[in-house]
Structure 1
Amino acid sequence: MASFTSFFDSRTNRWNFDTLFNFGQISPKVQNHLKQVYLTLCFAVAAAAVGAYLHVLLNLGGFLTTIACIGSSVWLLSTPPFEERKRLTLLMAAALFQGASIGPLIDLAIQIDPSLIFSSFVATALAFGCFSGAALVAKRREYLYLGGLVSSGLSILMWLHFASAIFGGSMAIFKFELYFGLLVFVGYIVVDTQEIVEKAHLGDMDYVKHALTLFTDLAAIFVRILVIMMKNSSERTEKKKKRRD
C-alpha cells in the first residue's frame, strides 16, 4: 500500500506546468510509436462501442462473445507482427466482442439511468488519461516496480472470486473485489504504459499488441466504474423511496 501511496506523492518539484508536457526523455521514434498505440486504442474503443450497441439491438452479448474475444486476442498474439492488417482486424474483432460481452451490463445501466453510461465513460477516460500521462512524464522505469504489486493484487482478486464461487460470497467481499479491482487495474495502466515505453526503446514497436494491452485495462476499469455508479444510483433511489413511504 505504501508503494501505491508513493504514486500520489505531491512533491511540487515533480508536478508543475513544465513537467506536465515534458517528454524529453522519450525519443521521437518512441513518441511516434505511442501516437500509433493511442490512435489504435481509440479505434478499438469505437469498435467496443459498436459491439455494445449491437447487443442492445440484437441481444448478442454473453458467454459466446466472451470466448470469441479471448480467442481473437490469442489469435492476434500468435500472429507474426509483419501481418499488420490481419492483426489490426483481430484487434477490432476482439474489441467488438468485448463490447458485446459488456452489453448486458450496459442494458442494465440503461434501465437504471442511461446517463450512467456516459458518466462512466468520461470517468474512465479521465482516469486513463491521468494515470497513463503520469507514467509518461515520470522518470523512465520509475513505476515498473509496481508490476509485482498489481500482479499480486490480481492474484488476490482471482482467488477471492474462486472462493466466492465455491463457498458463496457476501456484499462486503463484492465491494472489496470491486474497489480493490479498480485500484489494481489503475495500477496496471501505469505499469503497462511504462513497459510499453521501455519495450519501444528496446526496439519492440508492436503497436497492435500494446494497444490490446491498454484496451484490456481500459475495459476492466470501465466495467468497475459503471458497476460502482449503478450501485450508488440504486442505493440513492431506494433511500428516496423509503423517505416517501
Structure 2
Amino acid sequence: MNIFDRKINFDALLKFSHITPSTQQHLKKVYASFALCMFVAAAGSYVHVVTHFIQAGLLSALGSLILMIWLMATPHSHETEQKRLGLLAGFAFLTGVGLGPALEFCIAVNPSILPTAFMGTAMIFTCFTLSALYARRRSYLFLGGILMSALSLLLLSSVGNVFFGSIWLFQANLYVGLVVMCGFVLFDTQLIIEKAENGDQDYIWHCIDLFLDFVTLFRKLMMILAMNEKDKKKEKK
C-alpha cells in the first residue's frame, strides 16, 4: 500500500470527544474573543510606537488594572455582554500600549526580532494549547500550585534584583519565566474546560487568562531575543 495515498481525516483530528458540545461552543467564544484581543492589542502597540508617549507604560498599566477590576465587578449576563466586551477591548488596547516601550527597545536592537518573537510565541501557544485540549481532562491541573509557587519566586527575585542589578539573574528570570508561562497555558486551558463543564460560561473572563498568558510569553521571548542580539553585536565589536 502506498502511504502517500492515504487521506488525512481533519475532522477526526479536530474532534475532542472528551469535551462536551456545550463546552466546545464555549471554547469557540473564548478563542474568538482572544482573536479580538490580539487585534486590539496590536493596534494599541502601534499607537504607542507611532506617538512615542513616554508615560504610556505607567498610565496604561494603571488603566488596564482599572478596567480589569471593572470587568470583574460587572456580572456576566446577556444584558451586560456588550458592555463587558467593550471593557475587554479597552483592557486589550491598554495592554498593547503597555508593550510599547519593550517594542521600541527591540526595534532599536533589530526590527526583525518582533515578527520572530510573535511567530515563536504563536507556535508555542498553539502547541501547548493543543496539548491541553487533547490530553486527558484534569491531567495538567496539578500544575497550579507548582506554577504559582514558581511565579512567586520569580517575582521575589525580580524585586531583589532591583537592588543587586545582576544581569545573570535577569536573564535567568526570563528563561525560567518562559517555561513557567508555557505551563500556565496548559493549566489555564484545562481549567477553563473544567469551569465550563461545571457551568461557568463567562467566556470573556476566561479569554483574559489566555490573553495574559500570550502577552507574557511574547514579552519574555522578545526580551530574550533582544538580549541575545545585543550580545552578538558586542562579540562582533
**Do the two structures share a fold, i.e. TM-score over 0.5?**
yes
Letter aligned with residue 142 of structure 2: Y
The alpha-carbon deviation at position 240 of structure 1 amounts to 2.0
| Paired position in structure 2 for 1:201 | 197
| Residues 37-69 of structure 1, C-alpha deviations (whole Å, 9 max, x = no match) | 011101101111001000011123220111111
Q: Does 1:177 align with 2:170?
A: no
Distance 1:173 1:84 in 2: 43
Q: Alpha carbons of 1:232 and 1:215: their partners in 2 closer, same or farther (altered >3 Å)?
A: same
Distance 1:189 1:46 in 2: 20
Q: Could you list the runs of 4 or more consecutive aligned residues of structure 1 that deviate by over 4 angstroms after TM superposition?
A: 17-20
* Correspondent of 2:25 among 12, 25, 32: 32
User: Does the Cα contact within 8 Å between 1:21 and 1:137 map onto a contact in 2?
Assistant: no
Distance 2:49 2:225 in 1: 20
Instruction: Within 5 Å, give how 1:115-134 maps onto structure 2.
Output: 115-134=112-131
Q: Does 1:46 align with 2:39?
A: yes
The alpha-carbon deviation at position 171 of structure 1 amounts to 1.3
User: Does the Cα contact within 8 Å between 1:136 and 1:193 map onto a contact in 2?
Assistant: yes
Unaligned runs of 5+ in 1: 1-16
* Correspondent of 1:92 among 65, 86, 89: 89
The alpha-carbon deviation at position 145 of structure 1 amounts to 0.1
Distance 2:168 2:50 in 1: 35
The alpha-carbon deviation at position 18 of structure 1 amounts to 10
TM-score normalized by structure 2? 0.91
The alpha-carbon deviation at position 113 of structure 1 amounts to 1.3
Distance 1:223 1:19 in 2: 35
Letter aligned with residue 128 of structure 2: F
Distance 2:228 2:124 in 1: 19
| Paired position in structure 2 for 1:74 | 69
TM-score normalized by structure 1? 0.88
Distance 1:67 1:55 in 2: 16
* Correspondent of 2:111 among 110, 114, 125: 114
Distance 1:182 1:89 in 2: 30
Letter aligned with residue 147 of structure 1: G
Distance 1:211 1:152 in 2: 23
The 3-state SS of whatever aligns with 1:26 is coil
More deviation, 17-26/34-43 = 17-26
The alpha-carbon deviation at position 229 of structure 1 amounts to 0.6
The 3-state SS of whatever aligns with 1:62 is helix
The 3-state SS of whatever aligns with 2:99 is helix
Aligned length in residues: 224
| Paired position in structure 2 for 1:7 | none
Instruction: Within 5 Å, give how 1:121-200 maps onto structure 2.
Output: 121-165=118-162, 167-200=163-196
The 3-state SS of whatever aligns with 1:237 is helix
Instruction: Within 5 Å, give how 1:15-26 maps onto structure 2.
Output: 21-26=14-19
User: Does the Cα contact within 8 Å between 1:141 and 1:198 map onto a contact in 2?
Assistant: yes
Letter aligned with residue 24 of structure 1: S
The 3-state SS of whatever aligns with 2:200 is coil
Letter aligned with residue 71 of structure 2: L
Percent identity reads: 39
Unaligned runs of 5+ in 2: 1-9
Distance 1:85 1:131 in 2: 30
Q: Does 1:219 align with 2:215?
A: yes
User: Does the Cα contact within 8 Å between 1:54 and 1:100 map onto a contact in 2?
Assistant: yes
Letter aligned with residue 28 of structure 2: K
| Residues 139-168 of structure 1, C-alpha deviations (whole Å, 9 max, x = no match) | 000010001110000010111112222x32
The alpha-carbon deviation at position 112 of structure 1 amounts to 1.5
Q: Does 1:234 align with 2:230?
A: yes
